[in-house]
Structure 1
Amino acid sequence: MLGFIIQRLLQAGLVMLVMSALVFVGVFAIGNPIDVIISPDATQDIRARAIAAYGLDRPIWEQYAGFLGRLLQGDLGRSFVFNMNVTDLIFSRLPATLELTLVAVLGATFIGVPLGIYAGYRPDSPVSKGIMAVSVLGFSVPTFWIGLLLILTFAVWLGWLPAGSRGPTVEVFGVGWSFLTPEGWKHLLLPALNLSLFKFAMMVRLSRAGTREIMLTDTVRFARAAGLSEWTILRHHVLKLISIPIVTVFGLEFGSTLAFAVVTETIFSWPGVGKLIIDSINSLDRPVMVAYLILVAALFVTINLLVDLTYALLDPRLRRKGA
């Protein structure tokens, strides 16, 4: 097991090094932030001093070397627009994105997996067909369109829920969370529902396919022959056997949702990291863009590492192979 962990850590370090270079070069190539930061009426002398102050007059390899040196010290730079440490800026927005993502992905998983198992266990029932029809909609309809329909229906026509923003928060250990207040839940429901529909559809289809496959195996036949109830078979055999693909999808979808909740946060004016990166792209705030993409890469590398370790715990063959 130790050899397995060391191997995965070395792979993760190499991936992060390559990703940092690609991200830095890619962001460097998309435009000159001085054109946005400095007024067009500024003199050439002012522009030259601003370029030198931000270090943009140095060669790209030298800028990247300086970035790596600061990164190893935990310094992701300073925002051109907000004039504050990028790490503090991103982490001030992270709780909003984190609670939105957790509510969306956990809701999609805890509702989608049981419904998918039922749809696989009773594939010809009207309820199962209805479940699969909803999953088709979750895959087919664009997120931004669903978000606009939710706002139009529940905020404009019915007036039940607010159309945007985060609502009041309660601080726990210095971090504000809106899900701890009833009014915060009102603001959270629509964006979380919008963000969860695609994940819900994926969990339903994955669980249904796994259940259909496992119900035809000898494991289920032997369990029935031993006199076990159908509920016991579904809970102890089917759910356990489909747990590995569900863990994989949960980990990857949680990472992708946390990193790319941009559309939902923009539609609902949710003050999270996704909204921040859109504003940073519009203003060519390079330090924020680079830091965001680096943190996204680190997030996916970490999630993949945790998924691999979970695999090893669920399947002893992987532990022996990596030892």
Structure 2
Amino acid sequence: MIAFIIRRLIQSIGVLLLTSVLVFCGVFAIGDPIAILVPADASPAEIAQAVQSLGLDQPLWQQYLHFIGRALHGDLGRSFVFNQPSIQLILERLPATLELALVALVLALIVGLPLGLIAGLKAGSVFDRTVMTGSILGFSLPNFWQGIMLVLIFSVTLGWLPSAGRGQPGMLFGIHTSLATWDGFRHLLLPALNLSLFKMSLVTRLTRAGVRETLPLDYVKFARAKGLRERRVIFVHVLKNILIPIVTVVGMEFGSLIAFATVTETIFAWPGVGKLIIDSITKLDRPVIVAYLLIVVAMFTLLNLAVDIIYSLLDPRVRLEAA
């Protein structure tokens, strides 16, 4: 296990290094932030001074080497717009995005697992066809359209939930979170629901498919032949085994929830990293864009490692040394 983790960490460092090259060259070779940051009536001397202060007068390869040198000391550059460390700006917004993604994932599991389990046990029934139709809609409808409809129905028409902002967060177990107050929870519910709809459909279909594949297997028939209660057969022999692929997929999907929450955060004015990155792209704030992408890649890498470890704990037959 330790050898596997060390090997994966070394691979992760290589992935991060290659990604840094691609991201840095791709982002820094596009557009001209000086045209946005400097006033239109600026003199050539002021423009030259701005270029020099941002380090844009150096060749691209030299800028990259300086970036790598600073990154090894935890410095991913300073924002062109805010004149603050990029990683500080991201870490200030990251808790809001993590909170949104975590609640969305919990909603997807709470709703998707029971729906998929019941649909798999009652295959071909009206309930099964209804759930599968709903999951297709969850896959097919654009995320931004779902968000607009949620705002229109629950905020504009019914007036039940607020449509924008994070509300008033509070302290819960020493953590600053919207879940600690009723106002914060009300503001969190709609964006979390919007972000979870696609994952909810995914979990539902994965669970149903797993149940349908597992029920005809010999060990399930043997458990029933022993006279075990149906509830024990379902929750111990069926659900435990189908959780292995679900955990694998859901673990990676949690990373995508964090990385691709941009649309949801924009629609609901959620003050997370997604909104920050949209503003940074608009203003060509290159250090923030690069820092965000590298943090996302590192997050995906660590999540992948965590999923592999959890996979082995759920199924001891998995040979991590062969991975």
Instruction: With the length of structure 1 as denominator, give the TM-score of the two structures.
Output: 0.96
Please say if residues 166 and 178 of structure 1, whose CA atoms lie closer than 8 Å, have aligned partners that are also in contact.
Answer: yes
Q: How far does the alpha carbon of each residue in 1:58-95 deviate from its partner, in whole angstroms, 9 at most, with x for none?
A: 11111111111111111111111111111111111111
Cα deviation, 1:232-288, whole Å, max 9, x if unaligned, reads 111111111111111111111110001110000000111100000000000000010
1:42 matched residue in structure 2: 42
Q: 1 CA distance for matches of 2:277 and 2:171?
A: 24
Alpha-carbon distance change, 188 to 43 in structure 1, aligned in 2, over 3 angstroms: same
Are the aligned partners of 1:4 and 1:319 in contact in 2 as well (CA < 8 Å)? no
CA contact (8 A) 1:166 1:184 kept: yes
Which residue number corresponds to residue 73 of structure 2?
73
Where does residue 225 of structure 1 map in the other structure? 225
Counterpart residue number, 1:210: 210
Instruction: Give the aligned partner of residue 131 of structure 1.
Output: 131
Contact 2:164 2:268 in 1 (8 A): yes
Structure 1 match to 2:317 = 317
- Asked if the contact 2:147–2:194 (Cα under 8 Å) also holds between the matched residues in 1, the reply is yes
Q: Which residue of 1 aligns with 2:201?
A: 201
User: 1:109, CA displacement in angstroms?
Assistant: 1.1
Aligned partner of 2:237: which letter? H
2 CA distance for matches of 1:204 and 1:128? Answer: 11
Whether contact under 8 Å (2:171, 2:180) holds in the other structure is: no
Q: Which residue of 2 aligns with 1:99?
A: 99
**Using the alignment, how far apart are the partners of 1:64 and 1:75 within structure 2?**
13
- Could you tell me how far 1:155 is from its partner in structure 2? 0.9
Alignment-mate amino acid for residue 109 of structure 2: T
Give a deviation string over 1:207-227, Cα, whole Å, max 9, x none. Answer: 000110000111111111111
Contact 1:95 1:175 in 2 (8 A): no
Runs of 5+ in structure 1 lacking a partner?
none
Mapping 1:234-273, distance limit 5 Å: 234-273=234-273
The CA deviation string for residues 135-157 of structure 1, in whole angstroms up to 9 with x for no partner, is 11101111111111111111111
Contact kept in structure 1, 2:172 and 2:179, CA below 8 Å = no
1:292 offset after TM fit, Å? Answer: 0.3
Query: What is the CA–CA distance in structure 2 between the aligned matches of 1:30 and 1:270, rounded to whole Å?
Result: 28
Q: Determine whether 1:191 maps to 2:178.
A: no
Q: Show CA shifts across 1:108-152 (max 9, x none).
A: 012201210111111122222222121111011111111111111
Pairing of 1:132-151 with structure 2 (within 5 A): 132-151=132-151
Aligned to 2:13: 13
Q: Secondary structure at the match of 1:239?
A: helix
Q: Give the residue type in structure 2 aligned to 1:76.
A: L
- Kept in 2: contact 1:3–1:322 (CA 8 A): no
**CA shift at 1:322, angstroms?**
4.0
Q: Please say if residues 143 and 194 of structure 1, whose CA atoms lie closer than 8 Å, have aligned partners that are also in contact.
A: yes
CA–CA separation in structure 2 for the residues paired with 1:178 and 1:317: 41
Deviation at 1:174, TM superposition (A): 7.8
**Aligned AA for 2:120?**
G
Given that 2:172 and 2:180 are in contact with CA atoms closer than 8 Å, whether structure 1 keeps it comes out as no
CA distance, structure 2, for counterparts of residue 306 and residue 9 of structure 1: 11
* Worse-superposed segment, 55-64 or 307-316: 307-316
Give CA-to-partner distance per residue, 1:149-171, whole Å, 9 cap, x none: 11111111111111111101114
The aligned counterpart of 1:84 is 84
Alpha-carbon distance between aligned partners in 1 of 2:212 and 2:173, rounded to the nearest angstrom:
46
CA contact (8 A) 1:77 1:287 kept: yes
| C-alpha contact 1:277 1:288 (8 A) present in aligned 2 | yes
User: 1:32 matched to which residue of 2?
Assistant: 32
Distance 2:283 2:24 in 1: 17
Displacement of 1:316 in angstroms is 2.8
Deviations 1:38-68 (A, max 9, x none): 0121111111111111101111111111111
CA gap 1:249/1:66 in 2 versus in 1, 3 angstroms: same
Q: Once structures 1 and 2 are overlaid, which stretch shifts more, 305-314 or 132-141?
A: 305-314
Matching residue's letter, 2:176:
G
SS class of match (1:310): helix
Q: Percent identity?
A: 57
Q: Note the residue ranges of structure 2 that are not aligned, 5 or more in a row.
A: none
Offset of 1:2 from its aligned partner?
2.0
Where does 1:286-297 land on structure 2 (aligned, <5 Å)?
A: 286-297=286-297
3-state SS of the aligned residue for 2:16?
helix
Aligned to 1:169: 169
